[in-house]
Structure 1
Amino acid sequence: MKLYPAIDLRGGQAVRLYQGDYDQMTVYNADPVAQARSFIEAGAQYLHVVDLDGAKDDTTANLQTIAAIAGQGGLRIEVGGGIRDEERIRRYLDLGVDRCILGTIAVKDFAFTERMARIYGSRIAVGVDMKQGYVAVNGWKEVTPEPGVDFCRRCADAGVKAIIATDISRDGTMQGTNLDLYRELLTIPGIEVTASGGIARMEELAELQAMGCHAAILGKSIYTGAIDLAEAVRRYQD
């Protein structure tokens, strides 16, 4: 299983939100590049980056920060947050980002998502954020009427290779991740599933690995020390 420590960017700083609420934000590091370097020192090979400003306001305010993180090397980086056209995909890939995550646009313009998946293959993932089981978009502010699992099936049928699934109610809460959700998603053929949101214990990583999750994203648990990243990498990193 691949392990992705997470850096969420807002105003050029590494932050975490509680249940996706921009008003409940904690700054963990004013220097995201140094934060990424500490992950490398812990043995991480992958990094999950979310531009919260991009997700909320459709800006590229954190582009230079992401460029600096990518420029230091040592990590295969996936980036999401405000990626809603092919130009932005190309800009990130040109910076050295390994994979771009489509979120809101995947729901709002499914034909675009299908086309990007066809053109870029495994370099495109779809981030499916779920609130009470339904897909949420626009920085988690808007909940759609489509069940998240149904949308994941639709993505797989359209040729999307990777899904990053987040139960918003668990994100940043340290209450444990939604293991039942990932068991259900893993019954969908043809997609790699990444678990995101609420992972708080090593035992959850063991369960995710055992059920066949492709990857897991670690956020608040590694910032607070609930999970030691170096130990998690030693035990569970492919």
Structure 2
Amino acid sequence: MKLFPAIDIIEGCAVRLVKGDYAKKTVYSTQPVAVAKSFAEAGATYLHLVDLEGAKDGGTPNLEVIREIVNESGLLVEVGGGIRSEETVEKYLEAGVFRVILGTAAVNHPQFLIKMVEKHGDKIAVGVDIKDGKVAVKGWTELSEESCFDFCEKLEKIGVKTIICTDISKDGLLAGTNLALYKEMSEKFRVDIVASGGVTTLEDVDQLQSMGLYGAILGKALYTGNIDLKQAINLTKEEIL
């Protein structure tokens, strides 16, 4: 199973939110490039980056920081947050990221998603952020009418190869992840599923791996020391693409 240590960026800083609440923000570092390098030194291959300003408002306010992380960390970087136009997709791919994550745009503009998947293939992933069984959009500030499983079925038919699934109710609480949800998803859909939200302990990592999941995102638990990244990577015996 692949591990994706995470950096969420606001105003060029590495932060974490609780349940996606922008009012509950903790700044962990003003040097996200250094954080990314520390993940690489611990043995990481991948990095999950989210521009939280972009997620809420659209645009690419932290593009230069992200470009620097790509260039200096040596990690395979996937990026999400406010990617709602072909121009933004191209900007990130030109900056060297290996995968772009669509969220709100995938829900609200399926034709755009289809076009991007046809053009870029597995360089396009979709973030499915779940709250009360529905898919959340616009940086988790709004709920769509789309149910999680119906939406994932559509994504599979479109040809999306990777779904990054976050249970918002678990995010940032260090209270464990939604193992039942990921088990059900992995049984229902033939796509690569990345678990996100509430991965708190090495036991969580081990249980997700035992399901045969493609990947898991490690966020707050890394910053608080609940999970040692090197130990987690050794546990998963991560392999490069």
TM-score, structure 2 length as denominator? 0.97
* Equivalent position of 1:118 in the other structure: 118
User: Aligned partners of 1:73 and 1:13: how far apart in 2?
Assistant: 16
Look up the equivalent residue of 1:47 and give its one-letter code: L
CA distance in 1, matches of 2:84, 2:221: 29
Secondary structure in structure 2 of the residue aligned to 1:83: coil
Within a 5 Å distance, the mapping from 1:46-57 to structure 2 comes to 46-57=46-57
Structure 2 distance, partners of 1:111, 1:190, is: 22
| d(CA) in 2 for partners of 1:222, 1:44 | 12
Using the alignment, how far apart are the partners of 1:115 and 1:159 within structure 2? 11
Are the counterparts in 1 of residues 40 and 73 from structure 2 also a CA contact under 8 Å?
Answer: no
Q: Which residue of 1 aligns with 2:69?
A: 69
> How many pairs were matched up?
238
- How far, CA to CA, are the matches of 2:189 and 2:232 in structure 1? 28
Q: 2:230 is matched with which residue?
A: 230
Residues 137 and 143, structure 2, Cα contact 8 Å, conserved in 1: yes
Deviations 1:118-156 (A, max 9, x none): 211110000000011110001101111221122111100
The AA in structure 2 aligned to 1:55 is: A
The 5-angstrom pairing of residues 148-187 of structure 1 reads 148-187=148-187
Cα pair 1:10 1:52 within 8 Å, conserved = yes
Moved over 4 A (4+): none
Q: Which moved more, 1:227-236 or 1:187-196?
A: 187-196
Asked if structure 1 preserves the Cα contact closer than 8 Å seen for 2:17 and 2:172, the reply is yes
Post-superposition CA distance 1:81-124 (Å, at most 9, x none): 01011111111111110000000000010111112112111100
Identity of aligned residues (%): 53
The change in CA–CA distance for 1:73 and 1:33 in structure 2 (over 3 A counts) is: closer
Structure 1 contact 117–161 (Cα < 8 Å) conserved: no
**Equivalent residue number for residue 96 of structure 1:** 96
Is contact 1:15–1:27 with CA below 8 Å preserved after alignment? yes
Where structure 2 has 5 or more consecutive residues not aligned to the other structure, the ranges are none
Task: Point out where structure 1 has 5 or more consecutive residues left out of the alignment.
Answer: none
- Do the aligned partners of 1:162 and 1:191 also contact (CA within 8 Å) in 2? yes
